[in-house]
Amino acid sequence: MSEQQKNLPQKQSEEIDLVQLFAMIGNGFEKLFKAIGKVLEWILDVFLRFLLVIRRHFLKFVIVGIIFAAIGYYLDTRERIFTSSAFVAPNYSSTVQLFSNVETLDRMVQQGDVEGLKNLLKLDSTQAANLKSFEIEKGPATENDNLMAYDRFIKEADSITIGLVSFEQYIDQMNKYSASQFEIRVRSKDPNLFSQIQGPLLDIIGKNPFILKKQQVELDNIDEKIKDVEVALDKLDSLRAVYLDVLSAEAKRAANAAPGAGTNISFAEKSVKTNELQLFNLEKEYRDQLKELNTERIEKENIVELVSGFQTIGESRIPLHKRNMILLPLIAEGLLIMILLSFSLNRFLVRYEENIKRTEPTI
């Protein structure tokens, strides 16, 4: 009985502690929700004040928007800019060089280096001055292109790296140089010069000695393989002629042989036909190799392969985010809002200063 009396105050103390703990937690959540409510209330108040400013000066916003939209339209139509794109596939690890050349040409355009552009792209001074920009970016990639790129990565990487990088991670981390095809976009005031700069633009990359040497080595290796396959085909033709002679000789012997020798002749004919079939399969294999090598040589013949050339006449289309008709009204409306808000802030500060002066005790 005495032990139960001793434990009773302890249990009551534990129950009181739990009640206080839950009360503290409840108060904490209540304060949190009140703080969130005050923040939301403040955001709503700012938004409504902003709408009030818009409503009060709505006519001003409309007039400014119309005026600057008209100015933007005039600027967009005063000087028409034409755009044309080409898709290329670089060989011999020339992707970095391709990007460097296109970016260099764009810098020359922005700096107004008409003489340099004229010499590099084989243009006259007027055509070079009409160029507005050069851009390059990754071309469209299919799922098959991504799989082939990942396959090349696996062949070149070590086993530890392969285990750390999945296909999805590799695609997410592909940089701008990883694609197999790239889009070169040129903007100009002259719609007819795009096809004229196509050849010189691609030839610039071929002036790199490292890439030229790599191309020569690659083509020499392919030519050597083609030569080996052609020699093997010539030997097969000679070997087939020998077998045909053997078959002819066997046929003559069969015609002159005694009746009891038919079984031996049959075995010899089967052996000759088997060897001829093997020769046929081997020749087909060599010819398939020759076809693949010739295709590979054609693909590697140019340092940069032209997949799709520039359109003969450029397209006059300004991207939506670069149209003055849209940008100028947005900028003007933003400046107008800042000016009106600054006036409202000034009036508030004036009233606040007057209130302080009224509440200050007079001496």
pTM score, two decimals? 0.54
Residues 87, 197, single domain; the answer is yes
Asked whether residue 223 is assigned to any structural domain, the reply reads: no
On whether both 149 and 205 belong to a single domain, the answer is yes
CB 133 within 8 A of CB 187: yes
Is pLDDT of 6 > 60? no
Domain count, the chain: 3
The predicted pLDDT at position 155 comes to 67
pLDDT above 70: residue 277: yes
Segment 2-31 shows an average pLDDT of 65
Query: Do 314 and 193 reside in the same domain of the chain?
Result: yes
pLDDT for 46 beyond 90: no
DSSP 171-190: HHT--TT--S-EEEEEEES-
Residue 357 in domain: no
Q: What angle do CA 283, 217, 289 make, to 5 degrees?
A: 15
Q: Do 175 and 289 have their domain in common? A: no
In a domain, 135, yes or no: yes
Mean pLDDT across the chain: 78
Looking at the domain assignment, is residue 64 inside a domain?
Answer: yes
Mention every residue, 6+ apart, whose C-beta is less than 8 A from residue 135.
Answer: 102, 106, 184, 185, 186, 187
Which range among 71-80, 236-245, 253-262 has the greatest average pLDDT?
A: 71-80
Q: Which residues pair with 133 in a beta bridge?
A: 187
Whether residues 146 and 277 share a domain: the answer is no
In a domain, 356, yes or no: no
Percent of the chain with pLDDT over 90: 9
Class of residue 138 by CB neighbours under 10 A (exposed 0-12, middle 13-18, buried 19+): middle
What pLDDT shows up at residue 171?
65
**Residue % of the chain over a pLDDT of 70:** 76
Same domain (yes/no): 197, 319: yes
CA distance 96 to 259: 78
Please give the pLDDT value at position 332. 92
Shared domain for 86 and 209, answered yes or no, is: yes
DSSP annotation string for 151-178: HHHHHHS-HHHHHH--HHHHHHT--TT-
Same domain, 284 and 255: yes
* Across 40-44, 72-76, 312-316, least confident range: 312-316
Q: Residue 27: pLDDT band by 50, 70, 90 thresholds? A: confident
Q: Are 329 and 72 in contact (CB under 8 A)?
A: yes
Residue 130 sits in the same domain as residue 183: yes
In a domain, 342, yes or no: yes
Are residues 129 and 174 both part of a single domain?
A: yes
| Residues 321 and 257 sit within 8 Å (Cβ to Cβ) | no
Q: Considering the domain boundaries, does residue 152 fall inside one?
A: yes
3-state secondary structure of 362: coil
CB-based contact 297:223 (threshold 8 Å): yes
Is 241 a member of any domain? yes
Alpha helix (H) residue ranges in the chain? 2-56, 58-78, 95-110, 114-121, 125-130, 143-156, 159-164, 167-172, 194-203, 209-256, 262-300, 324-359
d(CA 194, CA 183): 14
pLDDT band at 163 (very low <50, low <70, confident <90, very high): low
Angle formed at CA 225 by CA 220 and CA 226, multiple of 5 degrees: 95
E strand or H helix that includes residue 84? strand 82-90
Highest mean pLDDT among 59-68, 139-148, 202-211: 59-68
Q: Which domain holds residue 193?
A: 81-213+308-323
Q: Tell me, yes or no, whether 98 and 187 share the same domain.
A: yes
Q: Is the domain of 66 the same as that of 90?
A: no
